[in-house]
Every structure is written in structure tokens, then in C-alpha cells.
């Protein structure tokens, strides 16, 4: 399991429930137009922490039904209630996902030992390999290199989604655990993270520019850094626009321009604004010029 994975956007109806047809259309766009290698389902980009358990299961089912056997599938099942996490993990295994992933538990100030216990608890009950998800900018949970290594050493933990700009830690982890999967989580840092030997990347902008990310990953893996840099510049134009105007809403507005009924973000996230629609138009124009 490696390559470029889209962190699948959430697709909701006006009442906030899952728009199954929209989910299917977005999955098709990712596979058929962006050519991604896999989907990371129900992560941050999927607005998972705004969903009920039933909604999370519905997304897992819909994506599996649309994409199984075509691309690799990772189900993010994380949360701070372990009973829910383990229930979702069983669902993912029953549906034929390739792996599960879980964010570091947040809100309470868990100790390093408790963080390890969390992953042990999930991994030992899971029929699927587990990819830990490290994103200190959203969770507020920072871990030392030793803590991260100890989580990677947990039986049935196969890798880490590394959404941090700590390149020193990334290099130390890569060198210490060459056999583990490390996915880069910041789209704007795909090139340097690939140079450091990651196994691929998981990102939100890949829902629209996964084909550019694939070029970066393939060129950088082949040592063609000058060419890869040009594609990273294109990706970073999109990243700056979406980060300036609101990440998920602007990405959904671009999807809408491509005919995907991506709708709005789920409350309490704000409805898509006029400025986001304008940014989406600029992004689409840019994408059409680059091709």
C-alpha cells in the first residue's frame, strides 16, 4: 500500500445527512479524473468529528461499494471513545477495507503511556493493520520521536500518517523504522517529504489535484527534483488559495464547478461563501491552464 491517497471530503445534504450519490460522484472523480492510488475515508477532511456513528458507517459502506477492488481503502476510525472506535474498525474489516487509521486521542491531556495504550487497544482488536494519525496542529497532541517509535512498534501498527512540519522527526522516524509505512500529510510539503523517503501521501487537495500530486511523488522518487519542484509550485498555488479562503468549503466549491454535487460543509462549519466560490473559479482557471 503506497502512493497518493485522497483524504475524501465529506458530502452532505442540506439537512446535514450524508449525500450518498454525492459521495459516489466524488469517489468516481478521484479515481477516474485524479487517478489516485487510494482513499482515506472519514478523516479530518471528511468532517468526521461532526458526524454520528451511523453517518460514519454509511460513508464507509458507500465508498466501499463504489471503490472496492479499484484503489486501496483506509478507514479512519479514530475518536476518543474506544468502544465507538472498535465498532467502526470491525465495520471497516467487514466491508473489505485494507487498513484502519486512528488520530491520537485529544481533549484530555493523555500521557505518552496512555497514547500507547490507546493504539494497543485498537490494534489488538482490529483484523486490519492500523496506521496511526499524527496531526498536532489540530489535536494539540505533540509526541517525541521515541513515543512515535513506540507506537510504530505496537503489534499490528503498520505505519503513520505524519501531518507535521517537523522534518527532523520525520527523518529520524524513517531511519529508525525503515519497514513501516509513513505517509506525508501536508500537501504543501509533498516534495521534501518524498525526498526523505515517505511511502506516499494522504491529503485533502488531492480530491481535485491528485494527478499533480502523483507527478510530484513519482518524479521525486525518481530523483527528478527540478521537474518535481514545478509541480509542487502548482500544488502550492492551490493550497494557498484554499487555506486563505477556508479549506474544505473552497475545495467543495471547486468540486461543484466540476459537476460533483459536493454541497456545503456540515454545521457548525459555515456555508460556502461568495469569496470561496470566487476562489474556486480562480483555481479552476489555473487548473485548466496547467492541465
The residues that are catalytic are: 133, 161
Helix residue ranges per DSSP H, the chain? 20-28, 53-67, 82-94, 112-125, 136-139, 145-152, 167-176, 190-195, 206-221, 225-245, 247-257, 274-290
Cell numbers standing for residue 120: 494497543
Three-state SS at 260: coil
Selected range binding ligand MN9 among 83-91, 113-121, 149-157, 186-194, rule: CB under 6 A? 186-194
Selected range binding ligand MN9 among 141-149, 228-236, 239-247, 268-276, rule: CB under 6 A? 239-247
Nearest 5°: the CA angle 12, 42, 118 is: 145
- Annotate each residue in 35-74 with x if it binds ligand MN9 (CB under 6 A) or - if it does not, as one string: --------xxx-----------------------------
Residue 7 contacts ligand MN9 per CB under 6 A = yes
Query: C-alpha distances in angstroms, 144 versus 89, 148, 180, 291?
Result: 27, 6, 17, 41
Number of neighbouring beta carbons within 10 Å of residue 163 = 24
Provide the pairing of β-strand 3-7 with 200-203.
parallel
- In the complex, minimum distance from the CB of residue 183 to ligand MN9, in angstroms, rounded to a whole number: 9
Residue 127 contacts ligand MN9 per CB under 6 A = no
Residue 139 burial class via C-beta count within 10 angstroms: exposed 0-12, middle 13-18, buried 19 and up: middle
Residue 182 contacts ligand MN9 per CB under 6 A = no
- In the complex, minimum distance from the CB of residue 104 to ligand MN9, in angstroms, rounded to a whole number: 13
Which CB atom, from 81 or from 138, has the smaller least distance to ligand MN9? 138
Residue 185 contacts ligand MN9 per CB under 6 A = yes
Q: What span, in angstroms and rounded, lies between the C-alpha atoms of 194 and 18? A: 34
Which CB atom, from 30 or from 163, has the smaller least distance to ligand MN9? 163
Pair 148, 176: CB distance under 8 Å: no
Residue 247 contacts ligand MN9 per CB under 6 A = yes
Which CB atom, from 45 or from 256, has the smaller least distance to ligand MN9? 45
Q: What span, in angstroms and rounded, lies between the C-alpha atoms of 195 and 158? A: 21
- In the complex, minimum distance from the CB of residue 43 to ligand MN9, in angstroms, rounded to a whole number: 6
* Member of 126, 204, 232, 276 binding ligand MN9 (CB under 6 A): 204
- In the complex, minimum distance from the CB of residue 112 to ligand MN9, in angstroms, rounded to a whole number: 23
Count of all residues that appear for the chain in the document: 291
* Member of 139, 150, 156, 243 binding ligand MN9 (CB under 6 A): 243
Binding site for ligand MN9 (CB under 6 A): 7, 43-45, 138, 163, 185-188, 203-205, 239, 243, 247
Amino acid at each position: 500500500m503506497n502512493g497518493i491517497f485522497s483524504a475524501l471530503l465529506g458530502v452532505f445534504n442540506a439537512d446535514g445527512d450524508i449525500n450518498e450519490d454525492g459521495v459516489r460522484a466524488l469517489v468516481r472523480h478521484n479515481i477516474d479524473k485524479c487517478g489516485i492510488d487510494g482513499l482515506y475515508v472519514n478523516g479530518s477532511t471528511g468532517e468526521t468529528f461532526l458526524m454520528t456513528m451511523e453517518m460514519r458507517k454509511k460513508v464507509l459502506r458507500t465508498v466501499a461499494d463504489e471503490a472496492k477492488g479499484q484503489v486501496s481503502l483506509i478507514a479512519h476510525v479514530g475518536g476518543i471513545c474506544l468502544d465507538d472506535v472498535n465498532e467502526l474498525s470491525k465495520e471497516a474489516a467487514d466491508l473489505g477495507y485494507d487498513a484502519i487509521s486512528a488520530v491520537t486521542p485529544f481533549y484530555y491531556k493523555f500521557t505518552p503511556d496512555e497514547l500507547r495504550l490507546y493504539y494497543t487497544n485498537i490494534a489488538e482488536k482490529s483484523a486490519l493493520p492500523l496506521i496511526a494519525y499524527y496531526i498536532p496542529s489540530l489535536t494539540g497532541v505533540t509526541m517525541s520521536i521515541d513515543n512515535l517509535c513506540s507506537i510504530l512498534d505496537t503489534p499490528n501498527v503498520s505505519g503513520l500518517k505524519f501531518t507535521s512540519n517537523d522534518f527532523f522527526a520525520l527523518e529520524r522516524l524513517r531511519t529508525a523504522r525503515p519497514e513501516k509505512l509513513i505517509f506525508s500529510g501536508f500537501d504543501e510539503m509533498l516534495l521534501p517529504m518524498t525526498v526523505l523517503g515517505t511511502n506516499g501521501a494522504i491529503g485533502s487537495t488531492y480530491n481535485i489535484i491528485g494527478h499533480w500530486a502523483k507527478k510530484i511523488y513519482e518524479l521525486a522518487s525518481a530523483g527528478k527534483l527540478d521537474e518535481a519542484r514545478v509541480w509542487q509550485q502548482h500544488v502550492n498555488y492551490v493550497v494557498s488559495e484554499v487555506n486563505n479562503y477556508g479549506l474544505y468549503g473552497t475545495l467543495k466549491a471547486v468540486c461543484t464547478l466540476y459537476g460533483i454535487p459536493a454541497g456545503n460543509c456540515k454545521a457548525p462549519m459555515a456555508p460556502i461563501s461568495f469569496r470561496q466560490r470566487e476562489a474556486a473559479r480562480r483555481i479552476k482557471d489555473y487548473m485548466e491552464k496547467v492541465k
